């Protein structure tokens, strides 16, 4: 295989550590470093025409329009587990393999989930702001214990299971919904399997850990929120499109539910979101996966697979392997 030309778009790539970039260079790959750029930049579009591989993050939408501008593109390396920004069918039609880095941020997102839960339950941000304003409200701020509460997980995949294990430390009862039910794990951990309509009314905390699919887009809407307890908390560190933000805003404003912790948004950055106006929501800027450990593993994971591909090997986490086979059959 000829020397691979890699266009690097992913904004988080090597933010904390330059070693993965050095590893790519040492492997002899030809790198075009355009981190944080995108389709609005004519130079980026020009670079697409030369690229054999694209290393992308969550900012770039990879579909037919982009692929039409990248005639040589044969590999799409996606940082992270989520693939909702990459049209796999379009990539396959274009003859490009797609690979990603599943599992590298499971622990980070699970930690962040509980950070949001505890921040809401104990009103940490309000307490901090109150004290900085020179108010001493120690007998007026009432929190919520999460000990022995019911945690409802929408999604019991790798991240959902990590969250469920953390819940054990708080002696929480865990119920979950997932079409791909992990029976052995659920049985070992005593997790009850419920449909969404059953889960929402019984959970004190509802936490979303599912990929964004056409089936669950807008899953948490006004009707779903009305099924939840008025004391319930909603956590979303998965994908923004799963929750209808306009409905969540109304539910929080009108005390249909008690609070929400949101790390992901329908539009990012969410500077026009009405959620920014509310006090009973904790908002973070899509940072659940951003720990030094997770980012290192993500960077190394995508780099190792790019090097594998440059050596004629199938990357470990290729999602359309039939395209790789077709590439090699064509020589």
List the catalytic residue out of 161, 227, 239, 245: 239
Cβ contact 88:67 at 8 Å: no
- As to burial, measured by CB atoms within 10 angstroms (0-12 exposed, 13-18 middle, 19+ buried), residue 296 is middle
Residue 193 annotated among the catalytic residues of the structure: no
Could you identify the residue written with the tokens 């880095």? 101
Name which of 228, 170, 165 is nearest 198 in CA terms.
228
Residue 239 annotated among the catalytic residues of the structure: yes
List the catalytic residue out of 145, 268, 293, 322: 268
Residue 286 annotated among the catalytic residues of the structure: yes
Domains of the chain in sequence order: 5-104+291-330 (3.40.50.720), 106-283 (3.40.50.720)
Cβ contact 267:277 at 8 Å: no
List the catalytic residue out of 11, 61, 286, 296: 286
Q: Among the residues of the chain, which ranges form H helices?
A: 19-26, 42-48, 64-68, 88-94, 106-121, 124-132, 158-167, 183-189, 196-202, 222-227, 245-253, 292-310, 321-330
- Global pTM reads 0.89
Cβ contact 99:318 at 8 Å: yes
DSSP secondary structure code for residue 243 in this structure: B
**pLDDT tens, N- to C-terminus, the chain (331 residues):** 578 999 999 999 998 889 999 999 999 999 999 999 999 999 999 999 999 999 999 899 999 999 999 999 999 999 998 898 999 999 999 999 999 999 999 999 999 999 999 999 999 999 999 999 999 999 999 999 999 999 999 999 999 999 999 999 999 999 999 999 999 999 999 999 999 999 999 999 999 999 999 999 999 999 999 999 999 999 999 999 999 999 999 999 999 999 999 999 999 999 999 999 999 999 999 999 999 999 999 999 999 999 999 999 999 999 999 999 999 888 7
- In this structure, the strands spanning 233-236 and 259-262 are parallel
Rounded Cα–Cα distance for residues 48 and 71 (Å)? 8
- Edge-to-edge strands, sheet with 192-193: 192-193, 173-177, 150-154, 205-208, 233-236, 259-262, 281-283
């Amino acid at each position: 295989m000829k020397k691979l030309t890699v266009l690097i778009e992913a904004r988080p790539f090597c933010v904390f550590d330059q070693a993965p970039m050095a590893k790519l260079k040492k492997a002899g790959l030809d790198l075009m470093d355009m981190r944080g750029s995108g389709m609005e930049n004519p130079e980026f579009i020009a670079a697409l025409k030369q690229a054999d591989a694209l290393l992308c993050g969550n900012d770039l939408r990879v579909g037919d329009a982009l692929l039409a501008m990248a005639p040589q593109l044969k590999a799409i390396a996606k940082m992270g587990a989520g693939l909702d920004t990459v049209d796999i069918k379009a990539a396959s039609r274009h003859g490009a393999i797609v690979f990603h880095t599943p599992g590298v941020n499971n622990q980070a997102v699970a930690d962040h989930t509980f950070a949001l839960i505890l921040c809401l339950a104990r009103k940490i941000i309000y307490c901090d702001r109150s004290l900085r304003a020179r108010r001493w409200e120690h007998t007026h701020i009432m929190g919520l214990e999460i000990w022995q509460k019911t945690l409802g997980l929408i999604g019991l995949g790798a991240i959902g299971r990590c969250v469920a294990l953390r819940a054990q430390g708080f002696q929480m009862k865990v119920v979950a919904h997932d079409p791909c039910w992990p029976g052995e794990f659920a049985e070992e951990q005593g997790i009850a399997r419920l449909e969404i309509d059953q889960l929402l009314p019984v959970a004190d905390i509802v936490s979303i850990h599912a990929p964004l699919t056409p089936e669950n887009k807008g899953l948490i809407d006004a009707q779903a929120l009305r099924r939840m307890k008025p004391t319930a908390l909603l956590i979303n560190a998965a994908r923004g499109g799963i929750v209808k933000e306009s409905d969540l805003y109304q539910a929080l404003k009108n005390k249909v539910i008690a609070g929400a912790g949101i790390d992901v948004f329908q539009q990012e950055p969410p500077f026009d979101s009405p959620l920014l106006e509310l006090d009973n929501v904790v908002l973070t800027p899509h940072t659940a996966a951003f720990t030094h450990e997770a980012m290192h593993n993500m960077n190394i994971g995508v780099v190792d697979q790019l090097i594998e591909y440059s050596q004629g090997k199938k990357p470990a986490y290729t999602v359309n392997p039939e395209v790789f086979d077709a590439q090699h059959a064509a020589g």
